[in-house]
Structure 1
């Protein structure tokens, strides 16, 4: 029996055309029908336009609206493909992983580095991969790009121009395509551990900072003064912060005592933080900072936004952040 797949178009490079000021989204799913059906195989496609935006113009309210739309139509389709710009795709796929926790069908986010109108584009191949992953029956949120499928909360854009733009960070690919077809590693797919429940709340009072030599701790204080509820810090190495010339750790302690959630991760894309090794990391843990472990920056940030949208209870925040929600984190407790 033919699988019914819904294509939701949000814009991005895949649907771009040349305009007066450069490339910008302009094609609708009607314009792309022929190309999409060429790669759909024996699946039945339904298509709809959600918005037409460069993904730099995608904001948290769009994530919530998209999650609600997917929730509304999930029981009418065997799988859903979301066409999306690449620049913020990993943020969207991460947030959808949390908002659509325990979704009962595949939701596959894809895009391209060249417009589908370009004869040498990667668009057709990425759509083919996404459509067939959406028809696989394996539930979850995924990213399909360059003949591989990545868990949505493990994807990160690591190259700005190459077709091989995305990688799975600290986690195996869910599927790969070769001359043998699509090979799915079912061990890499998180097991559904409950019923689906749309959870589309979020907080925008969250900030991500990347540490650099010379940064002043007053920057943290200014964020607190502006009413931020959560701060994700990309620290050095395995989670190091300065505490001698500029005592960031005592400043963070003050923020935490005032009810602000501080999460510390690493600037290194691979292997994650391990803050129980050096004094600088241990000090942060002792004052109550949370640890991102091996999460991507995109997942660490969106998870914090999502949790703070649900609760302001510090113990609940700590519990939510430390557990594995959608395959985004691997800690000693989750192994």
Structure 2
């Protein structure tokens, strides 16, 4: 985890991925649009009371609605962030991103950018820049001001004047100016005693294949097997309560056991907004543990999904992946 505090930003790279913040009307509704650099520059120049840090701008390609975000795009985004810091004389990065998957991307970057000697902020808006009551310029100028004040190295989410740890928050509202909240998840995770060099930001990563399966009453082995047989390398199992599942279904448990034997990493998290997984509290949880399921503790879906992509994408040995899943690497389990 990055803990060093950076100095006040002097040159910020703004990476524009698309999202609501820069959308404009099209025949089929709001769609991502180019030209945001000029609009941003015009707005900031019109605000003489703002003490704006020097910034440069890069438009990612393609510009997307964040509903179309993918882990493959994450690899391009992390490469752009690294390039800005290591090659373009920038000391910090501001990522403009759609809100629907912003928490996923920010959490993923926490794990993709371990050791990056610079702060990275993610922000966006609930309404496009320029429309009445939009929060776009408020969030852009606020994020730039936060960087100018100096932020710790690593990734944070900025929205409506608040800085949040991406591995601990989620989008919980589809309306209003405060869509993101920090979730009250159980901490207590043991910090990793070391971080393998393969996980550092400047080491190559490849695309991984991670699935997510929410448990519902009556779910069976057929549904589980359909996902396990799809080619995934890891599965996030969203369990009930403190980590329970259909423990009286021998076929379901056998599928979990086969997955472990086949090298598929399965991690249990809770569906609850608060709390976390403790697999040994109930028999219905301990049987999952006996079948090889790992505890995700209080990790959010966003955090564990990004963590698994990083661990698997770094080509770590399977035993090391399984070890690190249950240890705190980027504040996801504290």
TM category, shorter: 0.7 to 0.9
Cα distance in 1, alignment partners of residues 270 and 252 from structure 2: 16
Q: CA RMSD in A?
A: 2.3
Alpha-carbon distance change, 169 to 102 in structure 1, aligned in 2, over 3 angstroms: farther
Alpha-carbon distance change, 295 to 202 in structure 1, aligned in 2, over 3 angstroms: farther
Match of 1:227 in 2: 231
Match of 1:303 in 2: 307
Give 1:222 shift. Answer: 2.0
Alpha-carbon distance change, 275 to 325 in structure 1, aligned in 2, over 3 angstroms: same
1:291-317 Cα deviation digits (max 9, x unpaired): 111111011112112212223633111
Alpha-carbon distance change, 323 to 36 in structure 1, aligned in 2, over 3 angstroms: farther
Cα distance in 2, alignment partners of residues 154 and 199 from structure 1: 25
Find out whether 1:18 has 2:28 as its counterpart: no
Match of 1:134 in 2: 147
Give 1:198 shift. Answer: 2.7
Contact 1:99 1:198 in 2 (8 A): no
Contact 1:11 1:26 in 2 (8 A): yes
Match of 1:175 in 2: none
Match of 2:5 in 1: none
After TM superposition, the score normalised by the length of structure 1 is: 0.86
Match of 1:74 in 2: 85
Q: Looking at both structures, which has the greater relative contact order when contacts are Cα pairs under 8 Å and sequence separation is at least 6?
A: 2
Secondary structure at 1:167 match in 2: strand
Among 250, 256, 259, the alignment partner of 1:255 is 259
Cα distance in 1, alignment partners of residues 147 and 261 from structure 2: 45
- Where structure 1 has 5 or more consecutive residues not aligned to the other structure, the ranges are 172-191, 331-335
Give the stretch that moved more between structures: 91-100 or 271-280. 271-280
Give the stretch that moved more between structures: 321-330 or 81-90. 321-330
Secondary structure at 2:125 match in 1: coil
Match of 2:40 in 1: 32
Find out whether 1:265 has 2:290 as its counterpart: no
In the TM superposition, what are the counterparts of 1:1-335 in structure 2 within 5 Å?
A: 3-28=10-35, 29-37=37-45, 38=47, 41-51=51-61, 52-75=63-86, 76-135=89-148, 136-170=150-184, 197-199=201-203, 201-245=205-249, 247-311=251-315, 313-330=317-334
After TM superposition, the score normalised by the length of structure 2 is: 0.86
Secondary structure at 2:246 match in 1: coil
